[in-house]
Amino acid sequence: MKLLIISTGSGTGHVQAAAALEEAARRAHPDVEVVNVDALDYGTHFLRHLYASSYLLMANRVPWLWGFLYSKCESEDPRTRSSWILGVLDRLGSSPLRRLVRRLRPDRILCTHFMPPSALRALRDAPIDVVVTDFDIHSFWIQPGVRRFYVASEALRGILARKGIDPETASVHGIPISDRFRSPPSRDAAREELGLEEDEPVVLAMGGGFGRRDLPDLVAAAAEAEVRPTVLAVSGRSESMHATLRRRFGRRDRVRVFPFVGNIEVMMAACDVLVTKPGGLTTSEALAVGRPMLLTAAIPGQEEWNARHLVGLGAARPVTTQEILRTELDALFADPAALVTMAEAARAAGRAGAAENILADVFRPAP
């Protein structure tokens, strides 16, 4: 049995979800040969620019433009002109990906982005399953030939039904995250590992895998809250953001700056509150660890829907300005019962075993 996992590096979440699925497959299905690829490594320069460079530019520089396109291209009917045009571009720019599939001849294909099933729609070499990595599902995810959809909530099954998809082809398992989040360390153990005092207020501030431009201001606002917390600031993969944070906060005792880290579950376990943009992967990790979230400046589109879902769960609160961030932090630390309630809501919604459950469904014999 051979499993091909395909992500698209237009954001770290899709790649992290693919990595979580690969990790779970190798652990739970050692007899399965697993191949994990980024579709953009098998696409033209134009396709890479369309999905990676253009998305990051819009998300970081002109998020309103991404929100406009997201809304404009959304439809109850996935067979819109915009979907058709994007599908043509996908197929024209990804012939190396189709050649790879023909050469590998996988028994199952599992995609964590909507581009690969669009590019492979003409192939019938193996069943294509899709793992949606947000708490929303755009029409672009709905492609001909997809066998099953793996989604994060029951509400998304309803959205699929309204778009003409049989809800029986959708399974609700959550967003796949690393196995490390199945058994994170205790709060005390995590704090001991990081050299933090047991009773000090701790805030973890994250800007996503590529960093976000307003992260330094958010860190400053958190550090200036009256409760005077220790702030763990994670810059992500952006070297320039890491340098900016070091330059601005390097001499401040209560701000500790980190680059992209491999033990984020330890930092989440150690903190009292997570300040983050509402990406699907990061927030799913926080739910698994049971951490309250303050959600900042969601990118219009899928992150806005993520934020609404998480606030609706009772696990998060939205913050739109630095002043509101300071106010919310002081209010939460002054009301330990509110922190506990939010933490319990997060933990109740967490799906740390999503990756393993998705794979069990993928490999389930046909009736």
- Whether pTM > 0.85 for this model: the answer is yes
What domains appear along the chain, each with residue ranges and CATH number? 2-177+352-362 (3.40.50), 180-349 (3.40.50.2000)
pLDDT, one tens digit per residue, over 76-123 is: 455 554 454 455 555 655 788 888 999 999 999 999 998 888 888 767
- Tell me the CB-side half-sphere exposure of residue 172, using CA atoms within 13 A: 15
Average pLDDT, the chain: 87
* Per-residue confidence band for 48, with pLDDT thresholds at 50, 70 and 90: low
Predicted confidence (pLDDT) per residue in 313-363, tens digit: 999 999 999 999 999 999 999 999 999 999 999 999 999 999 999 999 999
Q: pLDDT band at 210, cuts 50/70/90?
A: very low
CA 255 → CA 196, 230, 232, distances in Å?
12, 6, 6
pLDDT of residue 290: 97
Q: Which residue has the higher pLDDT, 168 or 124?
A: 168
